Chain A
């Protein structure tokens, strides 16, 4: 039984070190390769030994996909590819490819240079790792190999964030990475088509939150910042260099312009400045409005926001500082926080989610006395505000995306177990879609039933399609054909074609029944009577009287003959092929009851009047022959199939069969044994 298997190595009932293994139709794909910000030991990276103990990862993975540049989605990549060892392709979008190495380098610097960690990946490793990256466009279908294809969709969240569809044959999985369903000031909303995947793996950071309108949040934010600087306080906004930083900068920039404020806004140096350049160059990835107006005014060229210098932190007077990183776990934001924390006039605004274990998480959960490195205790007197500006979808957004993609089942990652539980129920109840939430290392197995694609000969298909136009189209129609399986090539063809292709001759099985009737009339006259009788009885069928005196009903031939010994007895010869058995055997019984029979018994609806089945009667004939033949669709059934319509000269040679094939019932009945060499 084919199945899809999913094992989170990270981000299973957790936020951080996203790393999910997916096995689909024999292909193994790793989704994201992130680090955990809450840990500084082995737990910060996913446990890649799960994939293989001693073999090379390249042999076990067909590809790696990185959804966006946040470190909890790509932070372990150089470790994974260079230190553990993976040489296969790594897919990400262009902006991710551009920004990812810079963030990795930054992360490396903090870990190695500041914390002095050994056995960490080096700058060269980051470079080597990035050489394995293949950049993808949005909506581009990337053929990883002959069977596995991936496709990126816009995810909002941060610049270059993408959702990925992984597809093998008719089975598919969609991985959302992090996404945002509402457009914001610089990015658009995530979008996916109704691709009906077998499984949708979605983040669930805000599984239980339904956020109020963005406008309110923004107004709130501006009000708080404004009030603080008005009373001379300093505002610290810890952000990650890319993403919320730009969003809030745009927000403050426009506000400052409108209110004509002079209080300085600073941006922590280096990275963030550079980040703005990326936004300028990747304008097509931003939202509609920015894309439209960038020629007149590039939104990422800020007038009021200046670069920050470390010395500014001690300057008197109000200021607003954006500093990295966003969870206050290290770096400049933490330094500034320590300086300003003691003053109640100041304020720190946490605009995003904070992972457990970080200073950000601690102060948000109400801790006011923090134990810092070196056993110092830092008392936090400044105001702490939390405002969700994270560009993650909230519960409504997640439901919306599930509705858009219409998956068969949903799997939750990147969230807290309790919240997931809630969302899981909601999805199962409201959308009636089965939902999973495996923990790290736990495998979810989904049986799938992929359809099997085969080639159908167009002739066979068209014949069926034409029938579909008939009034009875709504009835389910049966299609008959033969499936030829040669190696891994499957083709569905009509039975006739299958025989022909395999070089097999059709074996014609024919029946001829003698129906004895007492009748003194001449054969011709009798045939005429049979004809008019059948004509009146079989209204649904094509009954014909042929010039040579025989009668046909569809493809069944009836001839009248007079056995020489008894002039009072006539014999009706009814002849049909195996394929027409039902009608043939019905006719014989009908004829047996003789001409006295005026009211026919209820007629079986013979199969050949059923749409879709006609072709069998004319099976062995090419369409060309049929069209050129005066009989149209009804060949002479007396003839062996391949000599049905001989040349015209033979017509009228006095033989019983109008089309002068070898079959001559009169003669052989008279002689007792047919002469097969008779011509």
Chain B
């Protein structure tokens, strides 16, 4: 029930594609937090998606097959699809705008108070522009949520690891999809394959998202094409948001790595694609229609979406270039299986290269990170606790930590293994002044506190009691029993033990005579024969047994109390 959700924290722009479904139709009334680049680029991704989908309007949509009995009979991928009844139509731009308008922008290391109870803080995760990990903490507990992080140096600000230290629980997710591929090697392969194809007169198609790795690829190509003698080959970037994406990338200086930041200080654009555009090497178009058809020259390199090859301009290029073995399609986005993506286009003559570039953490980096950060507990999706099913012998492809990671599954509630024991409370200075600490052990002092508790917005404050606390004189108040006091002083607990001899001496001093002391197994019994009173003294208890003589009882009580400490 999403109306019970108070807050949504968004880690990066890939993680917010379903946001309109939550904010628009579920009764969710909470707050969404995200960084500015996440929102801006997330908007671009959604805008592209909506645009692609709206280009292929469907007059009718089949839904009868969603009936379980029919679905059972369908061929494989459809048969196994889960929860088809919950499948939705793509949202509209209006819903996107409405959803995004509900997001509160935050900056890295900004402390955001939630209901006075917890504080959340986004930290740089190093994966994408504005991508964040989150710390959720109270004064005594700390949970870190690490999702989609990267330790590699690409364009975003490096990951902030130091702030993750001392976590009670670290939730770890969004690891690399391709743990076996090295992103650096993949970039090299990407460039060499691209060069090879172009030299042979073929075209290169790169299905990709309009933001993210494409910036790094363009930067690599910027350095590479001159040395490879390809500077005359046009680069085309086709997306409804191509221009916005390229422009936005240049203005988020504060979210970039140090190198790029210092470029802005010069002042120069942080990404070299500005120069590529200026020199006309890189051209961007909202779609293949319009200007593009006039400018189109082959051989060329085309960056376009959608990486699933199911919709968007990429479909046209697959149709156009698929039949020639001179051409190459290079898959760089790790989100889709390239074989499945290509299936409907078979048979294909064009070359297919798969060099997925996923800069997110791999398992070696995870174990390094965990060693560095030392969380008390690690929580992660179940998949990470065992090797991938396809490579079940690769024991290195799983999270290995001590104590073993707790795993969770979809729609499962997991209780985090810590017990909250303390919370912060403020003591007003006036009250603090009135406290009388006594040293119990070296370095440890105690003070009894009786104060009025004020709680507002989950913040607690202790104020001095409205009246000065009366010493333990319950009797006085009894006489004015009509006047019910607002605040009562509670009798303190007692501690210590009573030395019998001194006690007896004190009794004698106070006019008790005829005192008899008997030893028992656990202590002593002091008999005041005249008063028919018996005081049983043990190590940790004293029992006064007397006739109903209040005066006597109070006298004895006060004498006993002299020997005891109050708490």
- Give the docked Cα–Cα distance between A480 and B522 (Å): 32
Total number of B residues with any Cβ neighbor in A under 8 Å: 106
Given contacts A476-B487, A673-B518, 16 further A-B contacts (CB under 8 A): A170-B426, A274-B267, A282-B264, A283-B251, A284-B254, A455-B140, A455-B424, A458-B420, A483-B449, A495-B492, A505-B539, A511-B545, A511-B557, A579-B491, A605-B481, A613-B488
Q: Does B423 contact A (CB under 8 A)?
A: yes
Residues of B within 8 A of A512 (CB): 543-546
- Give the docked Cα–Cα distance between A592 and B497 (Å): 32
- In the complex where A505-B540, A507-B494 touch, is A284 in contact with B425 (Cβ < 8 A)? no
The list of the 3 closest CB pairs from A to B, nearest first, reads A451-B426, A455-B422, A508-B541
Which of the 9-residue segments A368-376, A484-492, A551-559, A621-629 touches chain B? A484-492
Q: Does A544 contact B (CB under 8 A)?
A: no
The chain A residue with its CB closest to the CB of B465 is A478
Q: Which of A652-679 contact B (CB under 8 A)?
A: 673-674, 676-677
- Give the docked Cα–Cα distance between A601 and B480 (Å): 12
- Give the docked Cα–Cα distance between A274 and B267 (Å): 7
Are B548 and A588 in contact, with the CB atoms below 8 A? Answer: yes
What 0/1 pattern do residues 434 to 455 of B give for CB contact below 8 A with A? 0101001101111111111101
Q: Does B152 contact A (CB under 8 A)?
A: no
Residues of B within 8 A of A461 (CB): 423, 425, 460
What's the nearest-Cβ distance from chain A to residue B160, in Å? Answer: 11
Are A277 and B267 in contact, with the CB atoms below 8 A? Answer: yes
Partner of B452, one of A479, A483, A674: A479
Q: Does A603 contact B (CB under 8 A)?
A: yes
Are B450 and A479 in contact, with the CB atoms below 8 A? Answer: yes
List 28 A–B pairs whose Cβ atoms lie within 8 Å, in order of A's numbering.
Answer: A277-B267, A455-B423, A455-B425, A457-B422, A479-B450, A480-B450, A483-B448, A485-B446, A486-B443, A486-B445, A487-B443, A492-B462, A495-B567, A504-B496, A507-B495, A507-B564, A510-B541, A512-B543, A513-B546, A515-B548, A578-B494, A579-B493, A592-B548, A603-B481, A607-B491, A674-B525, A676-B525, A677-B521
Partner of B496, one of A464, A507, A574: A507
Q: Does B466 contact A (CB under 8 A)?
A: yes
- Give the docked Cα–Cα distance between A592 and B550 (Å): 11
What's the nearest-Cβ distance from chain A to residue B110, in Å? Answer: 4
Are B542 and A508 in contact, with the CB atoms below 8 A? Answer: yes
- In the complex where A98-B264, A499-B567 touch, is A452 in contact with B427 (Cβ < 8 A)? yes
What 0/1 pattern do residues 275 to 289 of A give for CB contact below 8 A with B? 001101111100000
Are A94 and B491 in contact, with the CB atoms below 8 A? Answer: no
What's the nearest-Cβ distance from chain B to residue A169, in Å? Answer: 10
Are B36 and A482 in contact, with the CB atoms below 8 A? Answer: no
- Which of B466, B486, B518, B567 has the largest number of chain A CB atoms within 10 A? B567
- Give the docked Cα–Cα distance between A143 and B475 (Å): 54
What's the nearest-Cβ distance from chain B to residue A618, in Å? Answer: 13
Q: Does B457 contact A (CB under 8 A)?
A: no
Residues of B within 8 A of A582 (CB): 474, 478
What's the nearest-Cβ distance from chain B to residue A640, in Å? Answer: 6
Are A451 and B429 in contact, with the CB atoms below 8 A? Answer: yes
Q: Which of B482-527 contact A (CB under 8 A)?
A: 482, 484-498, 518, 520-523, 525
What 0/1 pattern do residues 66 to 78 of B give for CB contact below 8 A with A? 0000000000000
Total number of A residues with any Cβ neighbor in B under 8 Å: 96
Q: Does A453 contact B (CB under 8 A)?
A: yes
- Give the docked Cα–Cα distance between A580 and B472 (Å): 12
- Give the docked Cα–Cα distance between A470 and B490 (Å): 19
- Give the docked Cα–Cα distance between A449 and B567 (Å): 27
Q: Does B341 contact A (CB under 8 A)?
A: no
Are A491 and B422 in contact, with the CB atoms below 8 A? Answer: yes
- In the complex where A495-B567, A604-B481 touch, is A94 in contact with B424 (Cβ < 8 A)? no
Q: Does A124 contact B (CB under 8 A)?
A: no
What's the nearest-Cβ distance from chain A to residue B133, in Å? Answer: 15
- In the complex where A457-B421, A505-B539, A509-B541 touch, is A141 in contact with B111 (Cβ < 8 A)? yes
Are A479 and B451 in contact, with the CB atoms below 8 A? Answer: yes
The chain A residue with its CB closest to the CB of B420 is A458
Q: Does B250 contact A (CB under 8 A)?
A: yes
Interface of B is mostly: mixed
- Give the docked Cα–Cα distance between A510 and B455 (Å): 36
Q: Does B248 contact A (CB under 8 A)?
A: yes
- In the complex where A511-B553, A581-B474 touch, is A607 in contact with B490 (Cβ < 8 A)? yes
- Give the docked Cα–Cα distance between A580 and B525 (Å): 23
What's the nearest-Cβ distance from chain A to residue B104, in Å? Answer: 11
Are B481 and A602 in contact, with the CB atoms below 8 A? Answer: yes
Residues of A within 8 A of B106 (CB): 139
Q: Does A634 contact B (CB under 8 A)?
A: no
- Give the docked Cα–Cα distance between A495 and B493 (Å): 7
Q: Which of B335-380 contact A (CB under 8 A)?
A: none
What's the nearest-Cβ distance from chain B to residue A146, in Å? Answer: 13
- Give the docked Cα–Cα distance between A280 and B251 (Å): 7
Interface of A is mostly: mixed
Are B267 and A278 in contact, with the CB atoms below 8 A? Answer: yes
Residues of B within 8 A of A536 (CB): none
Are A480 and B490 in contact, with the CB atoms below 8 A? Answer: yes
The chain A residue with its CB closest to the CB of B480 is A604
Q: Does A441 contact B (CB under 8 A)?
A: no
- In the complex where A479-B449, A512-B545 touch, is A452 in contact with B520 (Cβ < 8 A)? no
Are A514 and B493 in contact, with the CB atoms below 8 A? Answer: no
Q: Does B547 contact A (CB under 8 A)?
A: yes
Are A604 and B477 in contact, with the CB atoms below 8 A? Answer: yes
- Give the docked Cα–Cα distance between A588 and B550 (Å): 9
- Give the docked Cα–Cα distance between A616 and B200 (Å): 89
Q: Does B91 contact A (CB under 8 A)?
A: no
What 0/1 pattern do residues 111 to 142 of B give for CB contact below 8 A with A? 10000000001000000000000000001100
Are B422 and A514 in contact, with the CB atoms below 8 A? Answer: no
- Give the docked Cα–Cα distance between A338 and B484 (Å): 87
What's the nearest-Cβ distance from chain A to residue B294, in Å? Answer: 22
- In the complex where A458-B422, A508-B542 touch, is A451 in contact with B247 (Cβ < 8 A)? no
Q: Does B461 contact A (CB under 8 A)?
A: yes
Q: Which of A577-619 contact B (CB under 8 A)?
A: 578-582, 585-586, 588-589, 592, 601-605, 607, 610, 613, 616, 619
The chain B residue with its CB closest to the CB of A609 is B488
Q: Does A477 contact B (CB under 8 A)?
A: yes
Q: Does B244 contact A (CB under 8 A)?
A: yes
What's the nearest-Cβ distance from chain A to residue B498, in Å? Answer: 8
- Give the docked Cα–Cα distance between A393 and B455 (Å): 37
Q: Which of A272-313 contact B (CB under 8 A)?
A: 274, 277-278, 280-284, 294-295
Residues of B within 8 A of A142 (CB): 109
Q: Does A506 contact B (CB under 8 A)?
A: yes
Q: Does A378 contact B (CB under 8 A)?
A: no
The chain B residue with its CB closest to the CB of A98 is B265
The chain A residue with its CB closest to the CB of B421 is A458
Residues of B within 8 A of A508 (CB): 494, 540-542
Are A137 and B109 in contact, with the CB atoms below 8 A? Answer: yes
Residues of A within 8 A of B520 (CB): 676-677
Q: Does A465 contact B (CB under 8 A)?
A: yes
Q: Does A502 contact B (CB under 8 A)?
A: yes
Residues of B within 8 A of A601 (CB): 481
Residues of B within 8 A of A505 (CB): 495, 539-540
Q: Does A111 contact B (CB under 8 A)?
A: no
Q: Does A475 contact B (CB under 8 A)?
A: yes
Partner of A452, one of B268, B429, B478: B429
Q: Which of A24-54 contact B (CB under 8 A)?
A: none
Q: Does B243 contact A (CB under 8 A)?
A: yes
- Which of B139, B424, B455, B491 has the largest number of chain A CB atoms within 10 A? B491
The chain A residue with its CB closest to the CB of B430 is A449
What's the nearest-Cβ distance from chain B to residue A609, in Å? Answer: 10
Partner of A482, one of B448, B462, B484, B496: B448
Q: Does B282 contact A (CB under 8 A)?
A: no
Q: Does A440 contact B (CB under 8 A)?
A: no
- Give the docked Cα–Cα distance between A138 and B494 (Å): 54
Are B447 and A483 in contact, with the CB atoms below 8 A? Answer: yes
What 0/1 pattern do residues 124 to 145 of A give for CB contact below 8 A with B? 0000000000010111111000
